[in-house]
Structures are given as C-alpha cells and as structure tokens.
Chain A
C-alpha cells in the first residue's frame, strides 16, 4: 500500500541553525501538507502546497519557514533559523487526485529537537 515517507526520523539541531525536513508523498497525489505537534498539544496545520505553490498557510508559518518540491517526488520543509519553540513532531501529508479529495494521508513524522 502506498505511504508517505519522511526523513530523518529524528533531527537534533542547535538554535539558530537551518534544518530541512524531507518527505516523499504518495505518488500521483497532488496536494501536500506540513503539520506539527508540539509535545502534549494538538496537531496544527502549517502549510498546504498545490501546483508548485503554497495554497494556504497558517499564522505559524512565518518567514522562517519555506517549502519546496525540488524534483517532482520530494517535498521539503525548511526552517531557516531554528528556535527552541520549533521543537516538535513534524508530519507531512498528501491527498487527492481531484479537488474533492478530503482524506489526507500522513507520514510517520520527524521529531525535531532544538537545543
């Protein structure tokens, strides 16, 4: 069964460093998402991406964040200058073939620890 994959599973970084989290969505899906879950809190939407551009973003997704689909299979989330409060599980998701998809399929997550 096709699945979303994410690498690395765990990333440790120093505050102020840049990190790139990688995802391979389900092939032939058209919509891609990043969510995060801070320990003990709910899963929160960050950004959605369709047709090579951001379609929606939350207020969490500020100028420190960017997304890219560099090669037609990978989908990346970059945090330019990490802060302590960026420590969280980051989940990639993908959905749809048509605009009426609704079910989003999630990857296993990357645990980001900022020291």
Chain B
C-alpha cells in the first residue's frame, strides 16, 4: 500500500534557507492533506493542512502547495531554523473516511 509517498528519506538545509519537502499520492479520492512533524520519542505534531479545493495554504514560515493534476504536494519552510530539524510526515484523507494515510517521512536537518 503506497498511496502516499515521500521519496526523499532525508534533506539537509542551511539555517535561513528554504526547506522544500515533497509528497506524492496516487488516490484521486483524497481530498484533504496534512503535514506532521515528529521528534524522536514523541507523537506526530500537526503543522499545516490543505483542502483539495485550494492550491496553497500559508501559516507563518510554513506554506503547503497542492498540485492536484500532478497528485503532488510540498511543504515549504522559510526561513529554516535548527529547531525545525525533525521527521516530517505527509498524510492524506479521503472524503469517505476519517483515517489518515501517511507517507514514510523525510528527515530534515537544518544546519546552523
């Protein structure tokens, strides 16, 4: 079951630069997408989300872009800070159910 994919297991970025995390999905019935951040030994922390009726949602340093035709979404973090270093999970939800389908995560390291 690979309905949500994060093809980059890791990403390193200099402090102050932009971090771009990518996510692809295969199920066209997904209508809501979320990004979670996870530190070791903690649960996923909700960051930002986007409905399929939008193509962009912004919250402070975090912006999520959705390209429905390409079934692709991305999370931009600007400027990146060392405290952003964590594993980032993309998740998707269909209109018919409540369960979230998660990607495998991308480990972001922000270098001071």
Asked if residues A106 and B99 are in contact (CB atoms below 8 Å), the reply is no
Q: Is B80 an interface residue (CB 8 A)?
A: no
**With A33-B98, A43-B89, A48-B99: A102-B34 Cβ-Cβ less than 8 Å:** yes
Of the stretches B11-19, B67-75, B101-109, the one at the interface is B101-109
* B82 at the A interface (CB under 8 A): no
Q: Count CB-based A-B contacts (< 8 Å).
A: 58
B45-89 interface bits toward A, Cβ cutoff 8 Å, 1 = contact, 0 = none: 110010100000000000000000000000000000000000001
Chain A contact patch, size range: 20 to 34
Interface assignment of A103: CB less than 8 Å from any CB of chain B: yes
How far does the alpha carbon of A4 sit from the alpha carbon of B45 in the complex, in Å?
11
Tell me the smallest distance from the CB of A1 to a CB of chain B, in Å.
Answer: 11
Contacts A43-B89, A108-B43 hold; do A103 and B101 have CB atoms under 8 A apart? no
Q: Is A106 a contact of B98 with CB atoms below 8 Å?
A: no
Q: How large is the interface on B (under 10, 10 to 19, 20 to 34, 35 or more residues)?
A: 20 to 34
Q: Residue on B with the closest CB to A47?
A: B99
In chain B between 20 and 41, which residues have their CB closer than 8 angstroms to a CB of chain A? 32, 34, 36, 41
Known A41-B104, A102-B32, A102-B34; further 19 A-B contacts with Cβ < 8 A: A4-B43, A33-B98, A42-B89, A42-B102, A43-B89, A44-B102, A45-B99, A45-B100, A50-B98, A55-B98, A58-B99, A91-B44, A102-B49, A102-B51, A104-B34, A106-B36, A106-B46, A107-B43, A108-B41
Binding site for B on A (CB under 8 A): 4, 6, 31, 33, 35, 41-45, 48, 50, 55-56, 58, 91, 93, 95, 102-109
